[in-house]
A and B are shown apart, each in its own frame.
Chain A
């Protein structure tokens, strides 16, 4: 360890930081179940990889890695937009960011896994004030449970 510290900053250091970022991202991704946090952890992993690219590009003295990273950043940005939009939509339906509420893609006939410590639900939004519509209102559906 000391040896690495003693060296002048070089490829190894960059790689070490990249790996650290990546591993942190993985741990975070696996450990958290808040969708936004999971997404941020995924971003962290991407940054770790991007750091690797940059480090190697500098080490090799060419620009290919740098170019990759530019693409990566662009892709990450697009991804963020789409992912956040998706998360928003999901949140609207379940009123929660808990990823374990979404088990619908499991095989047919399997029991859903019941979460013993669900994330607290977000407080229900208060309805924005609005004008009553003219005529008899539509039958209000009863409030349903979130889980």
Chain B
């Protein structure tokens, strides 16, 4: 039988592993620093599996919880009670094993990818802390504890983005990631305050959800919106999305785990968890759905033209997260026939689940490409790799198929559910038009997704073989990361060939086994996991048993047309990509030229970075500079000026001391006279 106290071990083991690695890694563990992490991940994974088995299958409370003591608490009129409270219910029960499984696989991949990097122990130490924080976030039963995990993953993400700290671009990316998510975090914090004070000063998540139902509408809307602001920051939703593409400065396995599979989905997890109460505010749902829709289409449009393989994947992640929020936004309960809450939540979480696998696979394949190509990831400089790296090619292709939502691969099942949910929501009484538009937006995005994914795939793996010079020079020195696009000039000198074609492809090689093995593990997961859980209703049965939800096997078949439509869009996307980048590459160039403005907007990310910097960052920086300068040069001087008043007065009265005895005597006599007059006639004068 499962002992609930073991729940605490799930985050604790990786945390300990992280501490051990960081403290003893540089001196003792060195190149073995991955051992504590992998050991802890496997152990926690097994614990979580056992815990899920013991959740009990009877309807009602399907959960295990454990209160491992108080973190901090105060009493009085507005008590705060934060305990080390863990709870495993179906929603977290889906997340925890997924996180730990992917962490294990990616950690194994990292041992090859990060080999001989001088920061090897640091990498695995922070990686372990990330796993600890992520599991804490998911398992937390107390919303402040959730916030702790939330901030924890943010900091680990910050540290890993800035892992190669000598790279100026990494510095900027790390700061951007931290600051932008911090804005969201403060939103979440305020949301927590609002719920806490509105729900009788409790912080336990189930109690909050229960009590929040009684909140007035505006209050609920505001609380939900603030939670969503937190989710926007963490899950890179418009307009707080700008940090995610830059976060690709970190090592690629980190991008796979943190910026694709786990951390960025924390926002989806949070909103899904609170969906039973947020659904009471239809306006809020609409906001969530619209923001999700904007992000989905925007990211897809930007991804169309990017040349950096990792950035394409990053935008695709954003886009898919937008899908998940669209799904959550479709969780309407104001439709007369039946509530969509459970269906929407399951759709979002299911997509989160499948997405985690195939996106991790895609990123790891990209990592494998980078590793082999000397950390060059520019699509203009690589090509035809399917001959050089057959295993990586298969992995990438499976990931791309799953991402494009081609039947019967994973992405299809989950994306289809989202589109069905959106379509069902559009049959509601009000706001049906918006949901209809969002459905079409989703379909278009599906087509775009297929197009840009396969564009990247064809560019990298088809066509003539192009291998950059770095691929031969890097020799696993661990400094390849410093080679960015700026190094094109180096290429010129060496090769007199702008794209560094190699004449001898045989020298380039497939990544070592330690890296391809994780890929091969993920391939079946990415391809088949959707079919395993989706059509069999296993996901619905499992997630639907979470408290606040109900198992919803309602027939949404009325909207089966969307499945068909999404297939059409997807296949068209792939076909166009094939035509443009394999069959007739010249066509692509001419389209690029004729697109003009659109192309520029897309490749410059709609100038959103620049706009946001201009609107918020610069003014605040200038204000800050102004305030400290004024503080020193103006206000302080003004106060000093006040201090000069007595000196000035003294100066004015100094001539009175003229040294003339009779002047003094006269002054004395006059003073005396005035005094006497007051004394004698004062009460008559001032009556």
Interface residues of A (CB under 8 A from B): 26, 29-30, 33, 99-100, 102-107, 110, 112-113
Q: Is the CB of A107 within 8 A of B665?
A: no
* B366 shortest CB reach to chain A, Å: 83
The listed residue (B659, B666, B669) touching A103 by CB distance below 8 A is B659
Q: Which residue of B lies closest to A32 (CB)?
A: B662
Which residues on B sit within 8 Å (CB–CB) of A103?
A: 658-660
- Interface residue tally for chain B (C-beta within 8 Å): 11
Q: List 10 A-B contacts (CB under 8 A).
A: A30-B666, A99-B662, A100-B662, A102-B659, A104-B659, A105-B659, A106-B659, A107-B655, A110-B655, A110-B657
Q: Is the CB of B654 within 8 A of A100?
A: no
Which residues on B sit within 8 Å (CB–CB) of A112?
A: 659
Q: Give complex CA distance A43, B666 in Å.
A: 17
Which residues on A sit within 8 Å (CB–CB) of B669?
A: 26, 30
Q: Is the CB of B654 within 8 A of A107?
A: yes
Which residues on B sit within 8 Å (CB–CB) of A113?
A: 658, 660
Q: Tell me whether B661 is interfacial, beta carbon within 8 Å.
A: yes
Q: How many A-B residue pairs have CB under 8 A?
A: 37
Q: Give complex CA distance A110, B659 in Å.
A: 10
Which residues on B sit within 8 Å (CB–CB) of A110?
A: 654-655, 657-659
Which residues on B sit within 8 Å (CB–CB) of A106?
A: 657-660
Among A103, A107, A113, chain B packs the most CB atoms within 10 A around the CB of A107
Q: Give complex CA distance A106, B675 in Å.
A: 26
Which residues on A sit within 8 Å (CB–CB) of B654?
A: 107, 110
* B194 shortest CB reach to chain A, Å: 67
Which residues on B sit within 8 Å (CB–CB) of A99?
A: 661-662
* Interface class of chain B by DSSP: helix
8 nearest A-B pairs in the assembled complex, by CB-CB distance = A106-B659, A103-B659, A107-B657, A105-B659, A107-B654, A106-B658, A99-B661, A30-B666
Q: Give complex CA distance A110, B653 in Å.
A: 12
Q: Give complex CA distance A26, B655 in Å.
A: 24
Q: Which residue of A lies closest to B655 (CB)?
A: A110
What per-residue 1/0 map shows which CB atoms of B647-686 lie under 8 Å from chain A? 0000000110111111001100100000000000000000
* B674 shortest CB reach to chain A, Å: 14
Q: Give complex CA distance A106, B666 in Å.
A: 16
* B676 shortest CB reach to chain A, Å: 11
Which residues on A sit within 8 Å (CB–CB) of B658?
A: 103, 106-107, 110, 113
* A62 shortest CB reach to chain B, Å: 25
Known: A102-B659, A105-B659, A107-B659. 16 other contacts (CB 8 A): A29-B665, A30-B665, A33-B662, A99-B661, A99-B662, A100-B661, A100-B662, A103-B658, A103-B659, A105-B657, A106-B658, A106-B659, A107-B655, A107-B658, A110-B654, A113-B660
* A31 shortest CB reach to chain B, Å: 9
Q: Is the CB of B666 within 8 A of A102?
A: no
Q: Which residue of B lies closest to A100 (CB)?
A: B660
Q: Give complex CA distance A101, B93 in Å.
A: 105
Q: Give complex CA distance A111, B227 in Å.
A: 77
Among A103, A106, A112, A113, chain B packs the most CB atoms within 10 A around the CB of A106
Which residues on B sit within 8 Å (CB–CB) of A33?
A: 662
* A40 shortest CB reach to chain B, Å: 14
Q: Give complex CA distance A100, B664 in Å.
A: 12
Which residues on B sit within 8 Å (CB–CB) of A26?
A: 669
Q: Give complex CA distance A104, B660 in Å.
A: 9
Q: Give complex CA distance A8, B291 in Å.
A: 110
Q: Which residue of A lies closest to B663 (CB)?
A: A113
Q: Give complex CA distance A54, B552 in Å.
A: 117
* A32 shortest CB reach to chain B, Å: 9
Q: Is the CB of B661 within 8 A of A102?
A: yes
Q: Give complex CA distance A7, B669 in Å.
A: 32
* A60 shortest CB reach to chain B, Å: 21
Q: Give complex CA distance A142, B659 in Å.
A: 29
Q: Give complex CA distance A99, B657 in Å.
A: 16
Q: Give complex CA distance A30, B670 in Å.
A: 11
Q: Is the CB of A30 within 8 A of B660?
A: no
* A145 shortest CB reach to chain B, Å: 20
* B463 shortest CB reach to chain A, Å: 93
Among B654, B657, B658, chain A packs the most CB atoms within 10 A around the CB of B658
Q: Which residue of A lies closest to B653 (CB)?
A: A107
Q: Which residue of A lies closest to B659 (CB)?
A: A106
Q: Which residue of A lies closest to B656 (CB)?
A: A107
Which residues on A sit within 8 Å (CB–CB) of B659?
A: 102-107, 110, 112
Q: Give complex CA distance A104, B659 in Å.
A: 6
* B658 shortest CB reach to chain A, Å: 5
Which residues on B sit within 8 Å (CB–CB) of A102?
A: 659, 661
Q: Which residue of A lies closest to B654 (CB)?
A: A107
Q: Give complex CA distance A8, B654 in Å.
A: 53
* A6 shortest CB reach to chain B, Å: 25
Q: Give complex CA distance A6, B614 in Å.
A: 100
Q: Give complex CA distance A69, B236 in Å.
A: 99
* B669 shortest CB reach to chain A, Å: 6
Q: Which residue of B lies closest to A104 (CB)?
A: B659
Q: Give complex CA distance A71, B231 in Å.
A: 95
* A72 shortest CB reach to chain B, Å: 19
* B369 shortest CB reach to chain A, Å: 85
Q: Give complex CA distance A110, B658 in Å.
A: 7
Q: Give complex CA distance A113, B660 in Å.
A: 8
Q: Which residue of B lies closest to A106 (CB)?
A: B659
Q: Give complex CA distance A104, B658 in Å.
A: 9
Q: Give complex CA distance A110, B666 in Å.
A: 20
* A121 shortest CB reach to chain B, Å: 19
* B647 shortest CB reach to chain A, Å: 14
Q: Which residue of B lies closest to A29 (CB)?
A: B665
Which residues on A sit within 8 Å (CB–CB) of B657?
A: 105-107, 110
Which residues on B sit within 8 Å (CB–CB) of A29?
A: 665
* B666 shortest CB reach to chain A, Å: 6
Q: Give complex CA distance A17, B654 in Å.
A: 39
* B127 shortest CB reach to chain A, Å: 76
Q: Give complex CA distance A111, B660 in Å.
A: 12
Which residues on A sit within 8 Å (CB–CB) of B661?
A: 99-100, 102
Q: Which residue of A lies closest to B658 (CB)?
A: A106
* B246 shortest CB reach to chain A, Å: 67
Q: Give complex CA distance A100, B660 in Å.
A: 6
Q: Give complex CA distance A100, B661 in Å.
A: 7
Q: Give complex CA distance A103, B662 in Å.
A: 10
* A70 shortest CB reach to chain B, Å: 26
Q: Give complex CA distance A33, B658 in Å.
A: 16
Which residues on A sit within 8 Å (CB–CB) of B662?
A: 30, 33, 99-100
Q: Give complex CA distance A29, B669 in Å.
A: 10
Q: Which residue of A lies closest to B664 (CB)?
A: A105
* B629 shortest CB reach to chain A, Å: 38
Q: Which residue of B lies closest to A112 (CB)?
A: B659
* B381 shortest CB reach to chain A, Å: 82
Q: Which residue of B lies closest to A35 (CB)?
A: B661
Q: Give complex CA distance A30, B667 in Å.
A: 10
Which residues on A sit within 8 Å (CB–CB) of B660?
A: 100, 103, 106, 113
Q: Give complex CA distance A97, B662 in Å.
A: 14
* A143 shortest CB reach to chain B, Å: 26
Which residues on B sit within 8 Å (CB–CB) of A105?
A: 657, 659
Which residues on A sit within 8 Å (CB–CB) of B666?
A: 30
Question: Which residues of chain B from 616 to 660 have any CB-CB distance to chain A below 8 Å in the complex?
Answer: 654-655, 657-660
Which residues on A sit within 8 Å (CB–CB) of B655?
A: 107, 110
